[in-house]
Amino acid sequence: FLLHTCYSLQNLDIQTNEIEKTLCEELPQSLSNYVAQFGELKKKVDKRGRKLVDYDHAKHTYSSAKSSSKKGETDPKVAKAFSELQQAESLYKEINNELLESLPAAYDNRIAFYVNTLQTLFNSHSVYQTECTKLNKQIVSQLDRLAESIDILRVPRPEPRPSTPTDSVNDMGSHRSTPSPAPAPPPATPASLADSTSGQPNASAGNPFEEDNAEEVFENKIYPVRSS
């Protein structure tokens, strides 16, 4: 199932790449070719304008030479001006006739360009949507079969062991509360040590040598006084 699903996803990527190629390469190239012809037409229009200026200049030169000449058409200057006039007229008419054919054709060509461009655009979208619909249906079908066979693909797990009365008794015993230990005595502080010392009998109180009459008592014990 996984292999078929991956294959369908790869086909989806292929269809996406195809429509991207059409939209990003073929259509822009067709548009560039269509727009490029206008540059050539503009050059020809500019050239016709220059040839028209030359033609007007040749006519003016011929008229001036003819009006100033006394010999008329037999004058070499007039004949030369007439020859230049014919040449300028021929060049102008040639480029003008060419534009009279190419300009209407370029204008009418817009319809064919729009038709071809839009057909390519919508045909590519139609093919893309159709193929994607088929592939999506295949993926959904494969996922449905995967869902139906989930019990077969499931990893076996051990079944839970049934509980017994002994287990319940053990569980109850584990929850019994244990006696809490007696609290530890607080740590000794200098104040508590002083209080405990004051409560005990002073060892120096029973020492006869620390009293004021210690020397007299000692002498009486060594040399007792006899009564008369």
The CATH code of the domain that includes 28 is: 1.20.1270.60
Structural domain contains residue 80: yes
Q: What pLDDT, on the 0 to 100 scale, is given for residue 201?
A: 44
- Tell me whether residue 135 is in a domain: yes
> Are residues 51 and 92 in contact, defined by beta-carbon separation less than 8 angstroms?
yes
User: Does an H or E element contain 200, and which?
Assistant: none
Question: 202 in a domain, yes or no?
Answer: no
User: Can you read off the two tokens belonging to residue 198?
Assistant: 């004051």
Distance CA 37, CA 35 (A): 5
In a domain, 122, yes or no: yes
What integer is the mean pLDDT of 115-143?
A: 88
**Average pLDDT in the chain:** 75
Q: What mean pLDDT do residues 105-113 have?
A: 91
Number of helices (H) and strands (E), helices first, in the chain?
7, 0
In 3D space, the residue among 102, 57, 58, 101 whose CA is nearest the CA of residue 80 turns out to be 58
What percentage of the chain has pLDDT greater than the value 90? 28
Q: Is residue 164 part of a domain?
A: no
Query: Per the structure, how many domains does the chain have?
Result: 1
* pLDDT given for residue 96 in this prediction: 94
Position 128 in a domain? yes
Domain around 149:
1-154
